[in-house]
Amino acid sequence: MGGGSWGTAFARLLVNAGVVTEIICRRPYQSEAINRNHRNPDYLESVELPAELMASTFDDNNLSLADLVVVAVPSKAFREVIHRLAGGISPEAPVLSLTKGLEPETLKRMSQVLGSELPAPASRRIAVLSGPNHAEEIALDIPSASTIASTDARLAKKLQKIISSTSFRVYVNDDVAGVELCGATKNIIALAAGMSDGLGFGDNTKASLMTRGLVEMSRLGEKMGADPRTFSGLAGMGDLIATCTSRHSRNRRAGEMIARGKTPAEAESEMGMVAEGLTSARSVYELAAGVDLEMPITEQVCEVIYEGKNVLLAVAELMGRTPTYE
């Protein structure tokens, strides 16, 4: 489910791994173009897709026949899509979420949304995948690695075997909460890193933001019952490095544009893609407040993107905080 850049790249990956795959698009013209021209007209349009890849729409698909369902839609649309299509999913089919973020209204992780929308018992058929996985590189078979997490070790290992290839190495983990929180929180730090780029700051600034950002991420994870080790792995440090430094990073680019005077809405419009951090920043901040956790970088990013705070003032307030132990 999902005809965006990540959904498209992952569908291509599955086909090349020998999996019969159908990509379900929201827009009918997308599915028509993929079936006819083997290209997605909206995302990764320069990448030729396998002729074996089938495309359909939310209203006309073969979902009921699927042995595996992969969800790659933005977090703010996640529940709507699952609620709409859950009735067509086989009760035996595992569901793998690729979405990084929190549901804005409930602060739930995507696996929790799946658990509430799929028929019970659903927890043992849910898995999540996260890591330093820019779609632009996955679609070109550039070597990458990722983490699959599930409470069911057998399911995680089964999916690992299905998805792994010579260009995509998959590790397994049982820390679902940690892997998902990594994916949600790293985008906020990437916004800050992009703002640093937009202001013309250097490597020292970005390295400091990333390091202290990782501290914020792992502290929230511990408060939420996650394994601290997850945050030093692919879903945590790995994805943080990629998202804060890559030219492909939507969140880094959005932060850079905001520092140069664009509004968040203008930044997303100019990119033509969703920057998850612009939605999840408030959710992460509220989640932290609910467990009485201070997240200074996240707080300043929220004030910049939601309240229009001057980025230089946010920097000054971060640098002027009371000195403390590391």
Count of C-beta atoms within a 10 Å radius of residue 224: 17
Residue 325 has a pLDDT of 87
- Supply 47's token pair: 């990448």
Would you say 164 and 138 are in contact if contact means Cβ atoms under 8 Å apart?
Answer: no
Whole-structure pTM value? 0.92
> Please, what are the averages of pLDDT over each run of 10 residues along the chain (326 residues)?
92 94 92 94 92 90 89 92 87 93 93 88 86 95 97 96 95 97 96 97 96 96 96 97 93 96 93 87 95 96 96 95 89
Residues 315 and 294 in one domain: yes
Count of C-beta atoms within a 10 Å radius of residue 123: 15
Residues 198 and 114 in one domain: no
Residues 147 and 209 in one domain: no
Residues 165 and 254 in one domain: no
Residue 121 has a pLDDT of 66
Residue 165 has a pLDDT of 93
Residue 230 has a pLDDT of 97
Q: Which structural domain range is residue 263 located in?
A: 184-319
User: The domain that contains 202 carries what CATH number?
Assistant: 1.10.1040.10
CA 293, 308, 271: angle at the middle one, nearest 5? 100
Q: Does the residue 278 lie in any domain?
A: yes
For the chain, the C-alpha Rg in angstroms (whole number) is 19
The string of DSSP codes covering 153-181 is HHHHHHHHHHH--SSEEEEEES-HHHHHH
Four-residue CA torsion sign, 96, 251, 5, 238: negative
* 244: Cβ contacts below 8 Å, ≥ 6 apart: 186, 189, 190, 193, 194, 206, 209, 210, 213, 252
Residues 30 and 54 in one domain: yes
Q: Cα torsion at 169, 125, 223, 227 (round to 10°)? A: -40
Residue 182 has a pLDDT of 97
Residues 11 and 36 in one domain: yes
- Write down the catalytic residue from 186, 206, 223, 309: 186
In 267-320, at which residue ranges do the beta strands (DSSP E only) sit?
A: none
Residue 274 has a pLDDT of 81
Residue 114 has a pLDDT of 93
- Supply 171's token pair: 């590790």
Is 186 a catalytic site residue?
A: yes
Residue 229 has a pLDDT of 95
Asked which of 129, 146, 174 is the last residue of a domain, the reply is 174
The structural domain count of the chain equals: 2
User: The domain that contains 145 carries what CATH number?
Assistant: 3.40.50.720
Tallying the residues shown for the chain, one arrives at 326
Residues 170 and 189 in one domain: no
Residues 75 and 216 in one domain: no
- The identity of residue 142, as a single letter, is I
